[in-house]
Structure formats: C-alpha cells, structure tokens
Amino acid sequence: MSTTSLQPPPPASAPHYVRFLVPLAFFVLLVAVLAVGIKHSPEVGVIQSPLVGKAAPAWQLPMLTDSGRAFGSRDLRGQWYVLNVWGTWCPTCREEHETLLQISRSTRVPIIGIDWNDDDTEAMTYLAKLGNPYGTVTVDHDGRAAIDWGVYAAPETFLVDPHGMVVYKQIGAMTPDVWRREFAPRLPGGLAAGS
Amino acid sequence: MLPELGHFALILALLLAGLQAFFGIAGPALGRDRWVAATIPAVAGQFVMVATGMGCLSASFINFDFSVRYVAENSNSALPLFYRVAALWGAHEGSLLLWIFLLACWTLAVAIGSTRLPPRFSARVLGVLGVVSFGFLLFTLVTSNPFLRIEPPPPDGIDLNPLLQDPGLATHPPILYTGYVGLAVAFAFAGAAMLEGRLDQLWARWTRPWTTAAWAFLTCGITLGSWWSYYTLGWGGYWAWDPVENASFMPWLVATALIHSLAVTDKRGLFKSWTLLLAIVGFSLSLIGTFLVRSGVTVSVHSFAADPSRGIAILIFLIAVIGSALTLYAWRAPLLRSEAGFELTARESFLLFNNILLVIAAACVFGGTMAPLIAQALHQPPLSVGPPYFRPTFLLPVVPLLALLAVGIHANWKRGRLAERRGPILVTFCIAAAIGTAVVLGAFGGRHLLAIVGLGLGVWIMLSSLVDPLDRLRRGLSLSRAVLGMSIAHIGLGVAVIALTAVESYTVERDVALGVGDTAHVGGYDFRFLGTRPVEGPNYSAIRAQVYVSRHGRPIVTLYPEKREYWVRRTTGTVAGIKNRYGTDIFIAMGDDLGAGRWSMRAQIRPLVTLLWLGPMLMAFGGLCAITDRRYRLAREATPASEPLRGAKEHTA
C-alpha cells in the first residue's frame, strides 16, 4: 500500500501547476456565463403573452352585481383600462388585493375584474370584506374568456389602450413596484398620476 | 403554530450547521480535539431540527393548513392524502427542504458509519458537509421559506400540479435527490483529504461505499424519472434530453467515472488527483443541476420557479462551494504523487479510457445543455438544442466505451496479460456478434447496422461480465460481494444497452384519427376504438376511451386510456392505456376530440421497453451489493499507523 503525504513541493516546472488550475479556469468561465444568463433571465423565464402588442380579444361577460347585464370590450372602447383576472380561490390574488385597492385610489385608470371560475356569492362576500378595487367586475364561469385572454393561472393583469391593443401583461401578483415600473410609464401622465 | 415551529427549527438547524462546519474544519486545523469531538452532537442536533422542519411542513399539508402560502399553492382540500404528502416536494421551496433533509440523513449516516475512522478526518468530512448544509439552509430561509403565511388565509388551495399527481412523483424525486445529495459525501471526503493533505488507498476504501451508494440511488432515480415521464406525460417518450433530465444525467456520468477511478485508487494507489477532481466535479454538477432547474436560467418543462434574485443567491453559493473546492484542488493536488506504473493493456489503462470517455460524454451533454445560455450571453439568436444534437454526439464516446468494457473486464491489474485471455474475449465476441446479427435479421427484420452493433455490444458485455464469476465458481474460489456486485451492474448495463437499441430501432408509432368502430393497424396489432364514457376521479373528471387490441384476429387486451381534467387548476392530463406483453409495450394515448365522436390517438408498439427499466435497476442493485463487501468494513476498522492518537497534538501546514 502506498501512502502519499504532503511533502514539500517537488521541484516541478511551472506547467505542472498550471495543469491543476485548468478546472478552476473552466469554472470561472461557467460562472461568467451563468451570471449573464441570470441577468437576462426575465426574458427567458417569464412566459411572454402572444397578446402583447396585438388587439385584445372581443369579450362580453355578465356582471357580478347584476348577472342580467353584460359588460365587455364594447363598453371600454376609446379608453385605457386595466384588466385583472382573479378568483376568491387564489391566494396570490388575495396578496395583490391591497395593491389593487391602492392603485384604484391613487389613479384614474379603471380596473376591470374578471372573476374566473368562481362562486358569485363568495366573490361578493370577499369584495365586501376586503374592499372593491374594481370599476366593474364581470364573471367568467366556464373559463371561456380566460382562454381567449390566454390566462395561464390567476392572477394576471393586462393593460389595454384606447385602440383595444394589449400593451402589457403581468403574470402573478401586482405589486406597487410592478405598477411603478411597468404600468405607470405606459399610461398617459394624467391617468397614471391620478386625481 | 406548527409552521412557526418549523421555521424556528430551520433557524436552529442553520446555527447548528454553522457550528458543525466550524468545529469540523477549525478543530482539526488548530489541533483542538474538543472541537473535533463537538462536531458529532452538532450533526445530531442539526438532523433533529431539520427533521422537525420537515415534520411541520408535512403536518401543514396533511391538515389542509392553507394559511401557509406554500401549502395553499400546492394542495387542495380534494387532494388525496398520498399526494398531500408528496406535494411537499411539488415545488421549489419544498424541494429545497427535501434536499436539506436528505443531506442531514446522509450526514448522520456518515457520522455513524465513521466512528472507527480517525476522529480528525471524520470531523473534516462532517465539517465540509456542514458548509454545504449551512449554505442550503441560509438560501432556503432567506429566499425560499416554505413556512410563510398568507393573511387572511384562503378558503382552499390551488392544487398540486396535475402532472405531478402520479405514483411516480411520490417516489422519483426523493430517490433522485438522495443520489444528488449523496455525491456531497464523496465531495466531503475529497475536501477532507485536501484539507488534511493526505490521500492514500485507505482513503479510497472509505470513500468507495458512499460514492457507490449515491451512484446507485442516482441510477434508480433517473430510471424512475424516465419511467414516470413515459407513463404520465402521455406521449410515450422516456428521454427527451430536456435540461432537467440532463441535469441528473451529467452527475451520473461523472459519478460512474468516479466509482471506477476510485477502484484504481483503492487497488493500485493511482489516479489520485484525478479521483479528487471527479469527486468535486460530480457534486458540482449535481449542485448546478439542482439550481439550473430552479433559477430559471434555462427554460424547461420542469422549471416552476423563475426568479432572478434567487439566481444571484445561487450563483454566490456555487462560487463559495465549488470555487473554494477547486482552488483548494489547484493548491493541494500538485503535491499528490503516484509512483506505481502499469502496462498499456492492464486494467488501469482500460479504466483510464473509461474515465476519459465518460467525461467526454458528460462534456457533450453539458455543452448541449449550456449552449442556449452561452448563445444568449454572446447576444446570438436564441438557440435550441435537442435530440438531433444529443443522440449522435452521445453515441460517439459511448460506443467505444462499451466495446472497451467488454474487453477490459478480462484484463488484470498492473499487467494486462490480455494475450492469455484471448480465448474468452474471442469466444464472447463471436457469440455476441452471432446473436446480434441473428436477432436483427431474424426476429426484428430490417438491416440496421446500428441495431446489430447495439444488440451485439449488449450481449457481449453480459457474456464478458459472466466469465470471471463463473471461472471463480468453477475453480471453487469464493466470490466476493464486490466482484458479484460489479458483474451484476455490468450485466444490467448490457440489458439496458439491448433495450435501448430495440426501443430506438424498432418502435412503431402512429398518430391516427379514429371514429367509434374504426380500426387502426399499427406494428402488427389492430386497435379498434369502441367509444368513450365520462368517469369521475377524486379531484378530476375524465373521458375514458375503450380500445380493443387484437393481433391476427386473436384478442390481446382492452385498453382504457384517459384524458383527465383536474377541477381546481382546470388543466388536463393524459393517462395512456398500456399493456405489457412479453416485454413489449402496446400503448395508446388520447389526443384531441375531433368532434362527431372522432378522436386523435397515438398508438405505439415498443419492443423490450420493460428491459429499459430492468437494466438500470440491476445496475443499481449491483452497486448496493458491492457496498456490503467485507473489505470496506475492515478498512473502516483499520486505523492507519500515521494517525496521531486521540488527544495528541498535531502540527498542520
């Protein structure tokens, strides 16, 4: 059995040591690539909606408060609006609710809700308890409108311009930061700043 | 209360992991034996705390505590108990906790199994494991805490990803992770050897069983994962060269190289610095694999978390662990010397080629997996790398590897004496070539050169693996568990090669549109669509088709493929109808409703697919068998003479 112990470095030539630095060099290179990859990851990781930059689907849904009346894209023509797809069953929607309330208080752009795949009574109790940020709430019982909008999971929030074009789509919770960074700059000054 | 208790337990575990790392590394370095002795209680304490954390999260899942955000996002009141338990590792946060828990288990096992090793050495091993555990716990607590609450709690949860609602899910991630995490042990042994500045054959003998165990779990986990995707994803694919699959395959290739390199270090005292490097690279790949998937740096069907801030934390952790290990390597490895030499035809050279080819194969997979990322970093147009790249590139090193195995297994250590073994080599080769050609031309038909090569190599490896054990039995020599395990593992590899060849060359696959009463002829079988009916599951509703399968007019089976819609997430899942007949899968999966009672369906005949799962399982079993060999136990009980006695002062560099 041969035992190798640490001995004073043998009089080896320089390349002998360089050889053992090769793995480290590779690793440094890999870290550089990963760092660049992470920097760009929002473009890679986030599912981009094919709707962005295109016309929003024509939609019409019954209203939560009055199921006899329909509301949809025709009523919103010519104005900016924020469309928020939510449900009482969705924890992240609860999380963003406070932010939506703040936005509705501080800006003048209407927030339209699509209550997706939900129970009407529960939805009304929910809004009565937590406050209602929506200008109008519509209900999508069979998920048809959600499919038209390409909704992958709730919540999702769209920004639609007066020509009916989808300008931006937020997947996941709306936060004050997202609003400041993505929504407000796209809106005309008067609307974003609010009253 | 339970989630807060779990959170608190994880914080305590973090502190204990820090102590374990500090005592384990600083104790031996400063020659303080009280510190050395303190690592064991730190390990035990950390294990208890991590297990408490796991228990708390499990309890929250089982008791439907939707006030816990992670529970609300990954389960639902309609989810059956079995999946509520498995949902724990259904997403990012829980997977990390599982990782940490398995690391704590391995660490405890190392602490228990190393009581006879020199205390300073085992303290260093535990210290390195403590560093890894500390990093993971810190990352989890800061960026991915599974115990966070939502206020007010939602009435119900979102449900577990339906893809994951399958028995395969419950088993494959924990086993795969056990393998991933087990490579940390080999890494820790390498780290301890570098910190100590000594690496001898005894070291290799201590490290081998742990590495082989991790490798066996990794083998099992990858196989189960492949089996799961084959049966659940619905389209009959068993390997897609998806980044997540590659992430598990790269460490496996390197671990395979490592167990062979360790064998050389153990038996002959050679390849020392190479073995160290493989141990570091193997674990690094398993870390990168864990994180590649989780950080969103590559796009994949499996990745559920895309969060750049996590990505940066991960990168810092990778730099800390891998960067410092490789720096230590660059500093210490040049001091390791191996004096012994060997002949070109000796077993050592075959294992050297084995290592080179396995590392090349791993590099090919790595290159393909990272290429899209590199293209992006260089501002090139998006690049997507798939099977057309991986298949040929991977075969290039693997075919010679298999051939070298079939020859090299006959070679002796030090002096190959291959000339004396010419008989068995030629006989096994001729039999294998004959069987391969006969099967391809006779049973399957068609003249595929690659199929003959594949089948021939598979049979050759199996026969060659049998020569040595049979020879020993004939001469009345004892057959050690190590040799037996090696033979079983190699036979398993032969089986897997045969199965892969058959499945790749002779699968018949057709997409058909069937109305009620229509028949499709696929691969000699007739599939007759008898109609559909709705069925209700515990948390889904489904459409179940009835397909009657016959061959030459004789009835074979009636299959019931399903298309499910899970209520809560409104997502669909496919469950294929599969009948296994003599190792061949008769497979039918439902596609889309084409209206008017017509459905698109995919019918497949996959020959020998059963062996595709059996082969790797044999390999894993062979590994586990080899671990139980007496020589590893004896090695643990032998204290090297150079080790200072307990309590004696040691001067370290």
Query: What does the DSSP assignment read for B579-618?
Result: EEETTEEEEEEEEEEEETTEEEEEEEEETTHHHHHHHHHH
**Whether A25 contacts chain B with CB within 8 A:** no
Do A57 and B363 form a contact (C-beta atoms < 8 A)?
no
Interface test with B, best of A89, A141, A181 (most B CBs within 10 A): A89
Whether residue A118 lies inside any domain: the answer is yes
Cα–Cα distance between B518 and B547 in angstroms, integer? 10
> What pLDDT sits at residue B643?
42
Q: Number of folded domains in chain A?
A: 1
Q: Using CB atoms, pick whichever of B156, B157, B200 lies closest to residue A1.
A: B200
- B604 φ, ψ to 5°? -140, 145
| Bond before B152 cis per omega within 30 degrees | yes
d(CA A82, CA A136): 11
Query: Looking at residue A173, which CATH number applies to its domain?
Result: 3.40.30.10
pLDDT, residue B299, reads: 40
- Tell me which residues of chain B have a pLDDT lower than 70: 159, 161-164, 169, 232-236, 292-309, 338-340, 376-377, 380, 382, 445-447, 568-571, 638-653
Q: Is the pLDDT of residue A6 over 80?
A: no
What was the pLDDT predicted at B485? Answer: 95
C-alpha distance from B322 to closest chain A C-alpha (Å): 8
Query: Nearest residue of A to residue B567 by CA position?
Result: A117
- Residue whose entry in the numeric block shows the structure tokens 């003249």: B447
In degrees and rounded to multiples of 5, residue A189 shows phi and psi of: -45, -50
- Domain assignment of residue A3, yes or no: no
User: What residues in A contact B340, CB-CB < 8 Å?
Assistant: 2
Mutate to test the interface with A, among B73, B156, B158, B359 (most CBs of A within 10 A): B158
Query: By the 8 A CB rule, do B162 and B78 touch?
Result: no
Query: Is A46 domain-assigned?
Result: no
Contacts of B272 in chain A (CB under 8 A): 4
Q: Do A31 and B315 touch (CB under 8 A)?
A: yes
For residue B298, the model assigns a pLDDT of 44
For A25, the closest chain B residue by CA position comes to B326
Q: What is the pLDDT of residue A178?
A: 85
Task: Locate A103 and state its tokens.
Answer: 């936005």
Helix (H) or strand (E) holding A170: strand A166-171
Least CA distance to B74: which residue of chain A?
A91
Range of the domain at A162: 60-193
Nearest CA in chain A to B301: A45
A152 touches chain B (CB under 8 A): no
Inter-chain CB proximity B338 and A34 less than 8 Å:
no
What ipTM was assigned to the predicted interfaces of this complex?
A: 0.80
SS3 state of residue B167? helix
Among the residue ranges A63-77, A137-151, B491-505, B629-643, the one predicted with the least confidence is: B629-643
Tokens 């190599």 correspond to: B457
Residue A165 maps to a domain = yes
CA distance B610 to chain A (A): 36
The partner residue sitting opposite A7, judged by closest CB among B73, B308, B335, is B335
Q: By C-alpha distance, which of B17, B57, B201 is closest to B642?
A: B201
Sign of CA dihedral B89, B93, B96, B100: negative
- Report pLDDT for B646: 36
> What residues of chain B lie within 8 A of the CB of A121, using their CB?
none
Interface check A23 vs B, CB under 8 A = yes
Residue A167 lies in a domain: yes
Distance between CA atoms of A97 and A93, rounded to whole angstroms? 6
> Cis ω on the peptide bond leading into residue B174 (within 30° of 0)?
no
Nearest by CB to residue A38, choosing from B201, B311, B570, is B311
Looking at residue B235, its pLDDT comes to 61
Mean per-residue pLDDT for A46-75? 78
Between helix B272-294 and helix B308-318 the angle, nearest 10°, is 170
Check CB contact under 8 Å for B155 and A89. yes
CA distances to B263, B351, B409, B413, B629 from B348, in Å: 9, 5, 11, 6, 21
Residues B94-116, buried b or exposed e (16+ Cβ, 10 A)? bbbbbbbbbbbbbbbebbebbee
A72 in any annotated domain? yes
Residue A83 phi, psi dihedral angles, 5° rounding: -110, 120
> Contact A46/A170 with Cβ under 8 angstroms?
no
Q: Is A121 on the interface with B (CB under 8 A)?
A: no
**Which residue matches tokens 């050690």?**
B480
Give pLDDT, residue B622: 96
**Which residue in chain B has the smallest CA separation from A3?**
B200
- Residue A1 pLDDT > 60: no
Compare CB distances from A38 to B297, B332, B374 and report the shortest one's residue. B297
At A5, is the pLDDT very low, low, confident or very high (cuts 50, 70, 90)?
Answer: very low
pLDDT for res B450? 84
- CB contact (8 A) between residue B197 and residue A45: no
φ, ψ of residue B631 to 5 degrees: the values are -60, -30
Closest CA in chain B for residue A155: B158
| CA–CA gap between residue B617 and residue B613 (Å, rounded) | 6
Q: Do B398 and B461 form a contact (C-beta atoms < 8 A)? A: no
Provide the residue type at B512 as one letter. Answer: V
Residue A3: per-residue pLDDT = 44
Calculate how close chain B gets to A6, using CA atoms only, in Å.
Answer: 5
Q: How confident is the model at residue B276, as a pLDDT? A: 94
Tens digits of per-residue pLDDT, B598-620? 888 888 888 888 899 999 999 99
Taking an 8 Å cut-off on Cβ atoms, the answer to whether A2 and B277 are in contact is no
Residue A67, in any domain of the structure? yes
Q: Which residues of chain B does A36 touch, with a Cβ-Cβ cutoff of 8 Å? A: 376-377
The pair of three-digit structure tokens given for residue B402, joined into one six-digit string? 């298999």
Shortest alpha-carbon distance between residue B269 and chain A (Å): 6
- Of B133, B263, B275, give the one whose Cα is nearest residue B194: B275
A9 and B334 in contact by Cβ < 8 A?
Answer: yes
Predicted local distance difference test score (pLDDT) of residue B293: 63
Question: Chain B residues with CB inside 8 Å of A10's CB?
Answer: 337
Residue A40 lies in a domain: no
**Would you give the distance in Å from CA B321 to the centre of its chain?**
21
Stated pTM of the model: 0.80
For testing contact with chain B, the best of A34, A122, A129 (most B CBs within 10 A) = A34
From A1, A6, A39, residue closest to B269, measured CB to CB: A1
Among B69, B307, B642, beta carbon nearest to A91: B69
Residue whose structure tokens are 């050495």? B121
Q: In terms of Cα–Cα distance, which of B59, B45, B58, B61 is closest to B9? A: B45
Q: Determine phi and psi for B219, rounding to 5 degrees.
A: -60, -50
User: Testing the interface with A: which of B284, B569, B570, B651 to mutate, by most A Cβ within 10 A?
Assistant: B570
Output the DSSP codes for B191-234.
Answer: HHHHHHTEEEHHHHHHHHHHHHHHHHHHHHHHHHHHHHHHHHSS
Q: Nearest by CB to A6, which of B66, B298, B653?
A: B653
